Chain A
Amino acid sequence: MANNNAIAVLETGAHFDMERIRADFPILNTKVEGKPLVYLDNAASSQMPQQVIDRLVYYQTAQHANINRAVHYLSEVATDEYEKARQKIQRFVNAREQREIIFTSGTTDSINLVMHGYGRQFIQAGDEIILTTLEHHSNIVPWQMLAKEKGAVIRVVPINDAGELDIESYEKLFNDRTKFVGLIHVSNALGTINPIKRMIDYAHQQDVPVLVDGAQAAPHIAVDMQALDCDFYVFSAHKLCGPTGIGMLYGKASVLEAMQPFKGGGDMIASVTFEETTYADIPHKFEAGTPPIAAAIGFGAAVDYLSSIGMEQIYAHESKLLHYATERISAIKGAKILGTAAQKTAVISFILDGIHPHDIGTILNQDGIAVRTGHHCAQPIMQRFNVPATSRASFAFYNDISEVDALIAGIRNVQNIFL
């Protein structure tokens, strides 16, 4: 595949070469308590391949200057590479235009941008915002802040016992006061893949715009802005092998153009006097100040890396891990999986009878196994299942079957200590 950065990437191909993929991730050689790291906390943050690390180093070594400013050589190179990264992300999500991709600091920042730039401008007292029980706190709290400020109302789509959205209830929530829908594509706590295409289409029939939180989807399944036709789509780079501190907001050009800027400052203006400021065109209108240039370029390298393996291949491999791990954990007496949706990514939230998740996490760590324990920033889901917390194993394409076996042995060890 095309790679303008002269950085070696894997060839596109049907063969999923586990050994070669794992060799790309130097951190996987880490030993924890003398044991090989088994990294199963990918939903929190994924690891970075050497190709992306090298890209960051090369940028800082040979290409860095501030962007969009000077006429000198390095500034032109940096600006060019930064905009190339935007183009890579545009292609990765199949957006119609490059200017529809806004660099943000991550998913949370993207949602806050939409809340301030769209919500504060277009949502008024008495208006209703539809969210779902599966939302991460980052797609709840900004809307609550807006609702409080404006006197708007939040309506919530319930889930069934499998952790799937109740689509009939979703459709019934719409009325003529409904002005916005915030929808998580894939649940970070349960792994449920929501039928967002159908939900977006329904909202659009009522002329209601939709923001999709794709933080847990973009790293695992192919996402296509033109096919989905959502108004906003957001995700972070660090969950798909990129750096922290960078993410993206996709917005339809017409919607982004109608919005007010979120942050004011340099780079987002056309002209400034003390009487008046004219804003720059999109995407720059929403990128005030010097952005994390290296991180944006690293983000571009990360989507190149994922594309070189292929999102279909990634999904297929992770599905194998999901099914094997689900089968093995289900067979353990005293273990229960929360979230058994028909459509899932490789996220397994589980509880063990009589053992608190924090104790599970601490003991698994002793075997080198990294899982997340807690409420996963999704307390409404925990309340729905009436548990304070769960343990969550979340897989990436660089995990292999033997790591599922290590997790199973680790869980049995936890049970042995407590029985």
Chain B
Amino acid sequence: MNTKSLYQEVILDHNRKPRNYGTLEHPSHQAVGHNPLCGDRLDISLQLENDQISCIAFHGESCAICKASASMMTAAVKGKTRTDAETLIQEFREMTLGELDLNHPHHLGRLTVFSGIRDLPTRVKCAILPWHTLHAALNALSSVSTEAENDPASSTSENASGNV
């Protein structure tokens, strides 16, 4: 793929000015995600009220792809129910692994700017890390790693449906 189509203005903008960047003081759920291959780390904290994500924040050390993915993810899931968030996580995963037919109905909206990542297998983990960390937070797992058994880009976690 052409790098320009991945490093689009929307991704660069979210990298420069990440939305929902920071931490919540008293979150109901939180998790830490690691990518030991590059040393990246992402913290996600959120407030679940009546099964709705009322507040969400992230912070950490990461590449532009990971940071923009986290920023756009927090914007997308804010106000959503846990079930709707899990649907988005699943769809985002499938899209980055090239397993989602974007011509069929989906809920990803502008998140499809990340669809080109499927052609850069070494970077898929960067884009998925925030989503997997969100999944861990919603399911009360304290931390996840891209190289552990619950690797977001492998087929071993309960949500996984394919391998890169």
Q: Does B100 contact A (CB under 8 A)?
A: no
Give me 28 A-to-B residue pairs in the complex whose CB atoms sit less than 8 angstroms apart, sorted by A's number: A355-B64, A357-B63, A358-B38, A358-B63, A358-B65, A358-B123, A358-B126, A359-B64, A359-B65, A362-B6, A362-B120, A363-B3, A363-B7, A365-B3, A366-B2, A366-B3, A373-B38, A374-B37, A374-B38, A374-B39, A375-B39, A379-B39, A382-B39, A388-B38, A388-B39, A389-B38, A417-B4, A417-B12
Instruction: Please give me the residue from chain A that is nearest to B65 by CB atom.
Output: A359
Indicate if the CB atoms of A418 and B64 lie closer than 8 Å: yes
* A362-B123, A374-B38, A388-B40 known; A356+B3 contact, CB < 8 A: no
Interface residues of B in 1-18 (CB under 8 A from A): 2-4, 6-7, 12, 15
Which A positions have Cβ atoms within 8 angstroms of B? Answer: 355-359, 362-363, 365-366, 373-375, 379, 382, 388-389, 417-418
Q: Does B61 contact A (CB under 8 A)?
A: yes
Which B positions have Cβ atoms within 8 angstroms of A? Answer: 2-4, 6-7, 12, 15, 37-40, 61-65, 120, 122-123, 126
Instruction: Please give me the residue from chain B that is nearest to A383 by CB atom.
Output: B39
Instruction: Please give me the residue from chain A that is nearest to B3 by CB atom.
Output: A366
The CA-CA distance from A388 to B37 in the complex, in Å, is 10
A344 to chain B, nearest CB (A): 24
Instruction: Please give me the residue from chain B that is nearest to A367 by CB atom.
Output: B3
Contacts beyond the supplied A359-B7, A365-B3, A388-B40: 10 A-B pairs with Cβ under 8 Å: A356-B64, A359-B64, A359-B65, A362-B6, A362-B120, A362-B122, A362-B123, A363-B7, A373-B38, A382-B39
Instruction: Please give me the residue from chain B that is nearest to A358 by CB atom.
Output: B63
Residue B12 contacts which of A357, A365, A374, A418 (CB distance < 8 angstroms)?
A418
The CA-CA distance from A11 to B90 in the complex, in Å, is 61
The CA-CA distance from A388 to B39 in the complex, in Å, is 6
**Most B CB within 10 A of own CB, among A355, A359, A388:** A359
- CB contacts (< 8 Å) of B126 on chain A: these are 358
The CA-CA distance from A38 to B71 in the complex, in Å, is 34
Instruction: Please give me the residue from chain A that is nearest to B61 by CB atom.
Output: A388
The CA-CA distance from A382 to B6 in the complex, in Å, is 28
**Most B CB within 10 A of own CB, among A356, A358, A366:** A358
- CB contacts (< 8 Å) of B122 on chain A: these are 362
A305 to chain B, nearest CB (A): 31
The CA-CA distance from A365 to B7 in the complex, in Å, is 13
The CA-CA distance from A358 to B62 in the complex, in Å, is 9
**Most B CB within 10 A of own CB, among A356, A374, A417:** A356
